[in-house]
Amino acid sequence: MSAVSTVDRKPGGGTPPEGANAGGPARRLASWLHRHGWVRLGVLLSAPMAWLVVAYLGSLAVLLVSSLWRVNSFTGDLVREPTLDNFRTIFAEPVYRNVALRSIGVAVAVTVIDALIALPMAFFMAKVASPRFRAGLVIAILTPLWASYLVKAYSWRVMLGNGGPVDWLLGGPGNGPGYGLTATIIVLAYLWLPYMILPIYAGLDRLPNSLLEASADLGGRGGRTFRSVVLPMIVPSVIAGSIFTFSLSLGDYITVQIVGGKTQLIGNLVFANIGAANNLPFAAALATIPVFIMIGYLVAVRRSGALNEL
C-alpha cells in the first residue's frame, strides 16, 4: 500500500512526524521496501548470515578439512594430502579415549554441581526475596563476572596450595585436595555458577505466582508444588544454563593448567598439539570430538526451547 494518500486523516491528529518527506527518496525507498517483504528479509539476513555462515561455519569447515592433513614430522610443515591417520590414532590409542571420557565426566560433574547450588539460590531470589533485595541479589551475582576468570582461577590456586586457606580450614597442610582433578571440578563449578544461576532465575521470574497459588489451592504443599509444578517448567532454563557450563568445561584448558596438577583434559591436548607440537591437523582432529558432542547436545535440547533462554 502506498503511503499517505489513501489514509483518512482524523481531525486534529495525525500530523506527519518529524522528518517526513512526503515524496522524498527515503520515503519512496521505504514504501518500496514495505511492499517487497522479501527484500527486507534479505537485507536483514545478509550481513549476519554472511558473518555466521560464510565466516564462522567456513572456518569450522577449514578446520575439519585440516584434520585430514598431517605435518612433516621433521620440519613441521603442513602436508596437504588427505588421510585418516589422525582419526585412526585417536581411536587406537587408549589415552585419547580416557581423556575424552574424563573431560565429559568433568563437564557433567560441573553441570550437576552447579545446578544443585543454583536451584535453591535462584528460587530464593525469584520467589522468596523482597523486590528490593532481589535487585541487590542479582547485582551481587552478576558482579563477579567482571572479575577476571584468570584471577579467580589463580585465587583458587592460592587457596588450594600447600598450607593455603583450604588446607588450613581442613586442619593442616596436606589435608586439602591439592591440585588435580577434584580441584579442577571445584574451580570450574565456581567459575560457571553465575551462568547457571541467571537463566534459572529468569525462568523462575517468568513463572507466575498465580500458578503456585493454584497448586496450593488444589492441596499441594511446598514440596509437591515444587516437584510437580515448578521443576517441569524450569527444565528449559536449567538446560540453557547447562549448555554454558557443559561447553565451557568441556573445552577448558587454562583452569586445568592453573589448578589441575598433572591432569590432562581434551582442551589441553588440543592446545598442546597446536602450540607445542605444532600439529594443527591432529589438534583439529581432536577438536572434532567436543564439536560433535556439543552439536549433538544442542540438537537434542533444541526442542525444549532452551536455546531461547540463553
Partner 1 sequence: MTLSHTARWLLRGAMALGLAFIYVPLAIVLVNSFNADRTFAWPPSSWTTQWWARAWESQGARDALWTSVKAGLGATAIALVLGTMVSFAVARFRFFGRDSISLLVVLPIALPGIVTGIALDSAYQTAIRPMGVEKGLFWVIVGHATFCVVVVYNNVLARLRRLGGNFEEASADLGADTFQTFRFVTFPLIRSALFAGGLLAFALSFDEIIVTTFTAGPGVQTLPIWIFNNLFRPNQAPVINVVAAVLIVASIVPIYLAQRISSDSAAGGRL
Partner 2 sequence: MKPIRLITAVAAAGLLALAGCSSGDGTGTPAPGGGLKPPERQKLAALGAGEGQVNVIAWAGYAEDGTNDPKVDWVTGFEKATGCQVSVKIGQTSDDMVTLMKTGDYDTVSASGDASLRLIYGGDVAPVNTDLVANYKDVFDGLKNKSWNSVDGVAYGVPHGRGANLLMYRTDVVKPAPTSWGAVFDANSPYKDKVTAYDSPIYIADAALYLMKTKPDLNIKNPYALDDTQFQAAVDLLKAQNGIIGEYWSDYTKEIQAFKSGDSVLGTTWQVITNLAQADKAPVEAILPVEGATGWSDTWMISDKAKHPNCAYMWMNHIISPEANAAVAEYFGEAPSNKLSCAKTADKNHCATFHAEDEAYFAQVWYWTTPIAQCLDGRTNVTCKDYLAWTQAWTTIKG
Q: Which residues bind partner 2 (CB under 8 A)?
A: 49, 53-54, 57-59, 61-62, 64-66, 71-80, 89, 93, 95-96, 98, 161-164, 173, 178-179, 261-262, 264, 269, 272, 274-279
Among 106, 271, 282, 285, binds partner 1 (CB under 8 A): 271
265 binds, among partner 1, partner 2, none (CB under 5 to 8 A by kind): none
| Binding-residue total with partner 1 (CB under 8 A) | 109
Tell me how far, at minimum, the Cβ of 275 lies from partner 2, in Å: 6
Minimum distance from residue 114 beta carbon to partner 2 (Å): 26
Burial of 126 per CB tally in 10 Å (0-12, 13-18, 19+): buried
Using CB under 8 A, pick the residue from 104, 138, 185, 259 that binds partner 1.
Answer: 138
- Binding residue for partner 1, selected from 82, 174, 222, 296, defined by CB under 8 A: 222
Place of cell 541467571: 198
In whole angstroms, give the CA distance from residue 129 to residue 95: 49
Beta bridge partners of 71: 78
Nearest to 147 by CA among 89, 191, 116: 191
Shortest Å distance, C-beta 31 to partner 1: 6
Among the listed residues 259, 272, 266, the one whose alpha carbon sits nearest the alpha carbon of residue 292 = 266
First to last CA, the chain: 38
Taking CB under 8 A as the criterion, the residue among 121, 235, 272, 277 binding partner 1 is 121
46 or 143: CB nearest partner 2? 46
Residue 118 backbone phi and psi in degrees, to 5: -70, -35
Rounded to whole angstroms, the Cα distance separating 241 from 100 reads 22
Q: Does 159 bind partner 1 (CB under 8 A)?
A: yes
Query: For the chain, how long is the longest CA-to-CA vector?
Result: 85
Selection from partner 1, partner 2, none that 173 binds (CB < 5 to 8 A by kind) is partner 2
Please tell me the distance from the alpha carbon of residue 249 to that of residue 184, in angstroms, as a whole number. Answer: 10
Measured from the CB of residue 143, what is the shortest distance to partner 2 in angstroms? 28
Q: How far is the CB of 244 from partner 2 (least distance, A)?
A: 23
